[in-house]
């Protein structure tokens, strides 16, 4: 299999390139048609990608299909072939043994396509396929979400189905709902009936005027029509290079679709998922980017740094070149083995704050040896093992000092040191499995291993180093960003 000899059982090699959230596009092809990527295309992230009418994704999402195929007794030849191969295996082993070609064949079967919706819809208590015959329930839309609360909606409503399918309030309350009602009106028209006035949701969706009160359907009355929307104005376009200062209005569903359709080049940044784009577009607007697709299409370019390549903001080209030029004649040790930049996502641990990586204005270098330390107990043990004052450690921003502490921890954190500890809080930390695994990782790979002169050169080029962010103290040592991020 193409690429197997190079990659099979070697995933932890290549300088940790496969251990980050970024596909190592500088070292491995992204062409799905060449033999070199054949082995990669059997990895979970590829073979369990979004498929089918409901975009089933991930090993967990595919698990019901494995069990369905294992118990299949129909007439589809492709499914029967896989049933014979998988019936004696556990569901997990069958998933591991499956190939990308298997899933291409399985999802091409009409039997599978029908099952996809049933698996996603859930059991009777949550099944969104059963629509209400009550017009008020069918047209119901819950109040606009506030904070992290995501209203589920009334079971039997068109909104409930749309939100369950996409996970997005704007999609369920807006475009999906409108399309369903438009389809119903078309069916009524073809049947020779006259559509009724549009029923009102219990709480109008954003930017919807309140329509007339609903009229319950009867056996002789047509289905309800969709509410008539006022024309919406698109959110103001973002500045071509830097976000506006302060938030701009979040785009509505129709505007997001227009943005998405106008910039197909950025679809891959959102895993080719409009639902993902619609989730993040309001976060971009909160950062002053009213049209995230236009912003990314205009500003993202191919960045190169010490032979590594990633997509990122064009404003990073000059400082990266300046820092690399400053290293001429020096041996950067350890070398740069991982360079990642653009990832549209919220800040880790949040759902409503956009990461600077989503703007393409922050990047990470060698994160395995420069981890993001977030746990207070980790600082406690590092301070004890290195003889560093805990208060000083949590506030240290000098790269040379942090590098010395990193080397000291790698030298001192041994089994002999751990077994000699008597302080209760240190013992409790060492006996906690998760904490011990993190500490062992720091001892293997280091805490601050970036070449100190390179850090200094990047800062001199006008970039901000994560290790010097005074308010974070989560030791974002691998991260850098420009001063507008």
405: which residues sit within 8 A by CB, 6+ positions away?
382, 386, 388, 393, 396, 447, 448
Q: What is the pLDDT of residues 19-42, one digit of tens each?
A: 666 677 666 766 666 777 777 778
285 in Cβ contact with 251 (< 8 Å): yes
pLDDT class of 58 with cuts at 50, 70, 90 = confident
Using alpha carbons, select from 115, 102, 6, 4 the residue that is nearest to residue 48: 102
The domain ranges of the chain are: 4-121, 131-229, 253-297
- State yes or no: pLDDT of 319 exceeds 60: yes
Stretch 113-141: mean pLDDT: 83
pLDDT digits (tens, 9 = 90+) for 441-457: 999 999 999 999 999 99
Give the pLDDT confidence of 384-399 residue by residue, as tens digits.
Answer: 999 998 778 888 889 9
pTM score of the predicted model: 0.55
- pLDDT for 391 equals 79
Asked whether 80 and 191 are in contact (CB, 8 A), the reply is no
Alpha-carbon torsion 422, 429, 377, 445, what sign?
positive
pLDDT at residue 191, as a whole number: 76
pLDDT at 331 over 90: yes
Q: Is the pLDDT of residue 292 over 90?
A: yes
Give the residue among 255, 184, 249 at the shortest CA–CA distance from 221.
184
Dihedral sign computed on CA atoms, order 148, 154, 156, 159: negative
pLDDT band at 483; cut points 50, 70, 90: low
Predicted local distance difference test score (pLDDT) of residue 425 = 94
Residue 307 phi, psi (nearest 5): 80, 0
Q: Which of 43-57, 75-89, 314-328 has the lowest mean pLDDT?
A: 43-57
Which of 136-150, 187-201, 212-226, 414-428 reaches the highest mean pLDDT? 414-428
3-state secondary structure 371-435: CCCCCHHHHHHHHHHHCCCHHHHHHCCCHHHHHHHHHHHHHHCCHHHHHCCCCHHHHHHHHCHHH
């Amino acid at each position: 299999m193409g690429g197997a000899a190079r990659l099979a059982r070697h995933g932890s090699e290549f300088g940790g390139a496969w251990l980050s959230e970024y596909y190592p596009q500088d070292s491995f092809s992204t062409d799905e048609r060449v033999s070199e990527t054949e082995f990669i295309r059997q990895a979970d992230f590829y073979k369990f990608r979004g498929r089918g009418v409901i975009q089933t994704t991930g090993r967990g999402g595919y698990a019901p299909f494995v069990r369905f195929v294992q118990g299949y007794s129909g007439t589809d030849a492709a499914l029967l072939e896989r049933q014979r191969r998988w019936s004696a295996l556990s569901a997990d082993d069958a998933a591991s043994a499956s190939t990308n070609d298997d899933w291409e064949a399985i999802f091409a079967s009409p039997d599978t396509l029908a099952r996809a919706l049933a698996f996603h819809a859930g059991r009777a208590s949550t099944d969104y396929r059963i629509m209400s015959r009550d017009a008020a329930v069918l047209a119901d839309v819950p109040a606009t979400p506030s904070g992290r609360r995501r209203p589920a909606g009334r079971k039997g409503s068109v909104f409930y189905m749309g939100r369950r399918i996409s996970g997005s309030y704007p999609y369920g309350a807006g475009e999906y709902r409108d399309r369903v009602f438009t389809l119903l009106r078309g069916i009524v028209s073809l049947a020779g009936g006259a559509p009724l006035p549009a029923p009102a949701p219990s709480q109008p969706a954003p930017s919807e005027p309140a329509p007339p009160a609903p009229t319950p359907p009867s056996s002789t009355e047509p289905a309800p029509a969709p509410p008539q929307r006022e024309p919406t104005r698109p959110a103001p376009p973002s500045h071509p290079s830097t976000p506006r200062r302060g938030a701009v209005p979040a785009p509505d569903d129709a505007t997001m679709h227009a943005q998405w359709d106008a910039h197909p080049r950025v679809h891959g940044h959102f895993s080719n998922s409009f639902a993902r784009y619609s989730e993040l577009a309001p976060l971009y607007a909160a950062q002053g980017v009213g049209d995230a697709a236009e912003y990314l299409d205009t500003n993202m370019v191919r960045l190169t740094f010490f032979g590594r390549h990633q997509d990122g903001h064009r404003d990073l080209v000059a400082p990266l070149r300046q820092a690399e030029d400053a290293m001429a004649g020096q041996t950067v040790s350890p070398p740069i083995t991982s360079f990642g930049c653009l990832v549209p996502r919220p800040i880790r641990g949040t759902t409503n704050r956009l990461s600077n990586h989503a703007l393409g204005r922050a990047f990470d270098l060698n994160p395995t040896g420069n981890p993001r330390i977030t746990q207070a107990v980790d600082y406690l043990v590092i301070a004890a093992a290195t003889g560093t004052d805990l208060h000083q450690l949590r506030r240290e921003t000098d790269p040379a000092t942090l590098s010395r502490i990193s080397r000291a921890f790698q030298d001192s954190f041994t089994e002999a040191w751990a077994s000699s500890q008597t302080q209760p809080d240190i013992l409790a930390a060492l006996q906690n499995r998760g904490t011990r695994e993190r500490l062992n990782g720091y001892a293997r790979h280091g805490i601050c291993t970036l070449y100190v002169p390179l850090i200094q050169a990047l800062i001199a080029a006008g970039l901000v180093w994560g290790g010097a962010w005074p308010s974070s103290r989560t030791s974002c040592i691998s991260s850098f960003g420009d001063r507008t991020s």
